[in-house]
Each structure stands twice: as structure tokens, then as C-alpha cells.
Chain A
Amino acid sequence: DIQMTQSPSSLSASVGDTVTITCRASQSISSYLNWYQQKPGKAPKVLIHDASSLQSGVPSRFSGSGSGTDFTLSISSLQPEDVATYYCQQSYSTPLHTFGQGTKLEIK
């Protein structure tokens, strides 16, 4: 099974900062990596698919990069509404999917 490891598990940043979240796969998954945002009490929402493709309607301050085993999600000009937990998910081994353990983002 492919394991997904995110870091950090939590972080705190100020409005206007740029933050980066990392996701590492236990084996190469090419670019088959998606990022989701989950706000408290809500269902997850896709932000980035296929490592770097911005989902329609998602603000351009969100961006993704990487391939193989190492991926990043970046949020530039952090906004208060970005407080959420962020998850990566691999689709390389579809139909079996696995998620990272999540990164909780807070505002200082």
C-alpha cells in the first residue's frame, strides 16, 4: 500500500504570509496527487488535482507542485478564511486511494 506523509502536522502563520505544506509518498506516484481543504464542521473540498492543476473556482493564491514522491501545497497572501485542515490524496493506485494525515493551519 502507498503511504502518504504530510508535514508539518500543524502550523500557525500570519495574515499575508506564504505557507507551504509538504506531502511525501512512500513510492513514486507520478503526478497523481490531489489536495483538499476541510474547514471545521464541513466536508472536504478539492483545491488542486494532478499535483498542480487548480480546481475551477479556487483562488489563485493556492498552488501545487511536485512529482514522483515529493509534493507541496503553497498558499500565498494567507487569508483568515484559509483556516482549515489540508489533506493530500494519491490516486496512482486507483481504485485504492489513500490520504495524508492532514495539516491543520491556524492564523496567529
Chain B
Amino acid sequence: QVQLVQSGAEVKKPGASVRVSCKASGYTFTDYYMHWVRQAPGQGLEWMGWINPKSGGTIYAQNLQGRVTLTRDTSITTVYLELSRLRSDDTAVYYCARDVGTPPENWFDPWGQGTLVTVSS
């Protein structure tokens, strides 16, 4: 079955960087774009960006430009989120989610289990 498995929780200091991984299985990795979405404690969902696993092309949310980088390793069917210059308001659960459908008729399914990133001094 289609599955996305993310790396474990991280604790980082302000100003540091964090990398979260998302390993995909159960489908052809390069056939589906991958999104990242985050959720601060008690808050709603914030779309962060997407990556085309085939080409490596990326699109980022404007408010994260310059701090977020999405990459992929097709040999191990894994996508990565790197967020730099961390601030306390980056504390959140970070999700990867596969894009399905044909744009603009596209939605996210399935989602990874989430990775908690805590930024604290």
C-alpha cells in the first residue's frame, strides 16, 4: 500500500537548521509530486511547498522563500525538507503529503505521520 514514513522528532536551537525526511513506498516515486505542510501547536495547516521528484523542480510558499529547501533522492525514494535560520515560531509538526489528481484537480493523499520539530533555546 502507499505509505509515507517520516523521520523522528527533532529539537533545535534558534538559528540552527533542521532536515526532515519522508520515505515513500508502494508506488512509482517519480510519478507524483510531494508537498510539505506544517501545523503549529493548536493551529491550522500551512502549505510550505512542493517538489517534483522526477525533475527535482520546486515551488515554495512566499513567506518561507530563502529558508526552505526541498530535495529528493530517487535511489531511496525519499524527499527531504530543510528549514534554516530556525525561530521559535517554526515549532510545529511537519507533514509530507503526496499530490494526486491532475492540476488543478489535485489533492493530498496519503500524508506522512508527521514530525515534531521543536525550536527552543
Contacts and interface: CB of A to CB of B under 8 A. Distances in A.
B46 A99 contact: yes
Nearest to A93: B104
A87 interface: yes
A34 B107 contact: yes
Contacts of B29: none
Contacts of A99: 37, 44-47
A91 B106 contact: yes
Interface residues of A, number: 27
Contact of A102 (B35, B44, B111): B44
Contact of A94 (B62, B104, B114): B104
A43 B95 contact: yes
A45 B111 contact: yes
A44 B111 contact: yes
Contacts of B111: 43-45
Interface string B67-109: 0000000000000000000000000000101000101111111
Interface string A24-36: 0000001010101
A57 B106 CA distance: 18
A95 B109 contact: no
Contacts of B108: 34, 36, 44, 46, 89
16 contacts: A32-B104, A34-B108, A43-B95, A44-B97, A45-B110, A46-B107, A46-B108, A87-B44, A91-B103, A91-B105, A91-B107, A95-B33, A96-B61, A97-B35, A99-B37, A101-B44
Interface of B: 33, 35, 37, 44-47, 50, 59, 61-62, 95, 97, 101, 103-114
